[in-house]
Amino acid sequence: MPTLLKQGSRREVLAAGGLAALAALLAPRMAFADEKAVEAELKKLYGDKKFETGRIKLDVPQIAENGLVVPINVEIESPMTADDYVKAVHVFADGNPQPGVVSYRFTPECGKAAAATRMRLAQTQNIVCVAEMSNGKLYSTKSEVKVTIGGCGG
Amino acid sequence: MAANPTPRVRVPAKAAKGEMIEVKTLISHEMESGQRKDSAGKTIPRQIINKFTAAFNGKTVFEADWFAAISANPYQAFFFKAQESGEFTFTWKDDNGSEYSAKAKLAVA
């Protein structure tokens, strides 16, 4: 089980602790993304286009006890027909080392623009979700997740 | 990498025409984020699965690009509207160039 191994190795790191852990503590803090990084990513994707609100249901916990595994469920209102469907959905986290979380591409065959996965969050932060419709319209929403134990695994 | 990544998928075997089905997939993988350090303080290089693709009868119906923020043993669920019988092919692409795949049949009555 990779998960167990991972925990094992973390324990090792802690046990072997001493200097290494101390060095890690003293090392400069890891660089985190911020709102600007998310904005930059959005600009890369969509330029200066405006986002509307609504249609996106972003389902994330308000409080995540374990930042290593945070469920995220998105659903976008759409008839999902050949000429009116959700083309893409991008999810960003503004407090992780890198802003990207996941990008989905849907097709009318999906019948419903909804998907669920699990993500790692390093700290309390905002989750930003944007949806691109087949007619080019853009929607966005965001939601804050409070993280008790960060999932950065430094 | 501990062991070979093993995909697991759950697709209903049968569906009525026009029925919305939920497809759930899981694959064992460390999803090494590239942010962790080993006991010597050296950064462990990133190795994640960066892309998941689902195709039905050869046509891509759903894709997900995963970034380093996706949890270990990544889970992905999505929906599919059953129209005809056929077979799903799921593909996971690893940073190291490997590809893992799984298939599942769907019978539409």
Name the residue among B3, B77, B80 with its Cβ closest to that of A116.
B77
Q: Is A39 a domain residue?
A: yes
- Whether residue A2 and residue B59 make contact (CB cut-off 8 A), yes or no, is no
Tell me how close the Cα of B22 comes to any Cα of chain A, in angstroms.
9
Tell me what pLDDT residue A154 has: 46
Asked if residue A114 has pLDDT above 50, the reply is yes
Looking at per-residue confidence, does A31 or B63 come out higher? B63
User: What CATH number corresponds to the domain at position A94?
Assistant: 2.60.40.2470
Q: Is A17 a domain residue?
A: no
Asked if residue A1 has pLDDT above 80, the reply is no
| Per-residue pLDDT band at A3 (split at 50, 70, 90) | very low
Asked if residue A47 has pLDDT above 70, the reply is yes
Half-sphere exposure of B34 (CA within 13 A, CB side): 15
Asked if residue B55 has pLDDT above 60, the reply is yes
Q: How far apart are CA A150 and CA B84, in angstroms?
A: 45
Q: Is A16 a domain residue?
A: no
Closest A-chain CA to B72 = A3
As given in the structure block, the two tokens for residue B97 are 């160039």
Asked if residue A4 has pLDDT above 90, the reply is no
Could you give the domains of chain B? 6-35+46-108 (2.60.40.10)
With beta carbons under 8 A apart, name residues in chain A contacting B6.
none
Q: Which residue numbers of A have CB closer than 8 Å to B's CBs?
A: 1-3, 5-6, 12-13, 16, 20, 23-24, 27, 30, 68-70, 80, 93, 96-98, 100-107, 109-112, 114-121, 151-154
Asked if residue A9 has pLDDT above 60, the reply is no
B90-109 pLDDT per residue, tens? 999 999 999 999 999 999 98
Question: Residue A80 belongs to what domain range?
Answer: 35-147
Closest B-chain CA to A117 = B76
Q: Is A10 a domain residue?
A: no
Cβ(A18)–Cβ(A75) under 8 Å? no
Average pLDDT on B25-35 reads 95
Q: Is A108 a domain residue?
A: yes
Task: Provide, rounded to the nearest whole percent, the portion of chain B with pLDDT above 70.
Answer: 97
Q: For chain A, how many structural domains are there in total?
A: 1
| Per-residue pLDDT band at B3 (split at 50, 70, 90) | low
Q: Is A91 a domain residue?
A: yes
Residue of A41, A74, A37, A64 whose CA lies nearest to A151: A64
Poorest-pLDDT segment among A3-12, A50-59, B13-22:
A3-12
Q: What is the DSSP string of B53-92?
A: EEEETTEEEEEEEE-TTBPSS-EEEEEEE--S-EEEEEEE
A100-109 pLDDT per residue, tens? 999 999 999 9
Predicted TM-score (pTM) of this structure: 0.85
ipTM rounded to 2 decimals: 0.93
Looking at per-residue confidence, does A19 or B89 come out higher? B89
Asked if residue A16 has pLDDT above 60, the reply is no
Asked if residue A61 has pLDDT above 50, the reply is yes
Q: Is A8 a domain residue?
A: no
Q: Is A45 a domain residue?
A: yes
